[in-house]
Copies of this chain bind each other. A is one copy, B any other.
Amino acid sequence: MERREQLVSVAFDLFYRYGVHAVGINRVLAESGVAKKTLYNHFPGKENLVAATVDYRDRQFLTWMEGRVQGAPAGKEALHAMFRALDEWFRGRDNQFYPFHGCYFINVSAEFGDPEHPIHQQCARHKKAILGLIRNHVSQLLASEEEVIKMSDAIATLKEGAIVQAHVLGDLQAAAKAWAIAEELLDARSQG
């Protein structure tokens, strides 16, 4: 078992659950069983470890989401699969993503609020990647490039909103509700 991997995985779990600034390096070390020197051998400081957890989650989340989406026919069904995945995530039905503590990227952005901060920008990049994934499928449903962009933004906004509602309010139906809206918007366009 690679030490670096171990560190990042444990650090992510703790940072995601309790928040980055609420978890000290010593706790990460204790729970991962790694020596302090090893940590500072791999990372110049805590912030780099945080950045590594964001990167780790970015890949983990994208892989998971792409996997879910590719299991369905491209287009509307793929988008539906995406919201079904969110639904299972919120409800803790998905082993890989249980438990749900909101979106790590939103949470980390809240703690590193300065838009110029590299970690904040890392979170922004993740959101853009997700937006790209959405666009790939929306573009199969709508002809106009402008419409594709608008529709993808709308779906992304609904997705972020659903995550917030699920986390802050504990609304477990948030994903289903968001999909109902997204579907209505799609139908209004692809049939018009």
Q: A: which residues have CB within 8 A of B?
A: 17-19, 21-22, 101-102, 105-107, 109-113, 115, 120, 123-124, 127-128, 150, 153-154, 156-165, 167-170, 174, 177-178, 180-181, 184-185, 188
Contacts and interface: CB of A to CB of B under 8 A. Distances in A.
Nearest to A171: B153
A188 B184 contact: yes
A181 B154 contact: yes
Given A102-B109, A161-B162, 18 more contacts: A19-B111, A21-B21, A21-B111, A102-B110, A102-B113, A109-B167, A109-B168, A110-B111, A115-B170, A124-B169, A124-B170, A128-B169, A150-B177, A156-B165, A157-B164, A157-B181, A160-B164, A164-B164
Contact of A178 (B19, B157, B163): B157
A113 B18 contact: yes
Contact of A161 (B18, B112, B160, B177): B160
Nearest to A168: B109
Nearest to A167: B109
A118 B167 CA distance: 14
23 contacts: A18-B113, A19-B21, A19-B111, A19-B112, A21-B111, A22-B111, A106-B110, A106-B168, A107-B113, A110-B110, A110-B111, A115-B170, A120-B168, A127-B168, A128-B169, A153-B165, A156-B165, A157-B158, A157-B165, A157-B174, A157-B181, A158-B161, A181-B185
Contacts of A180: 150
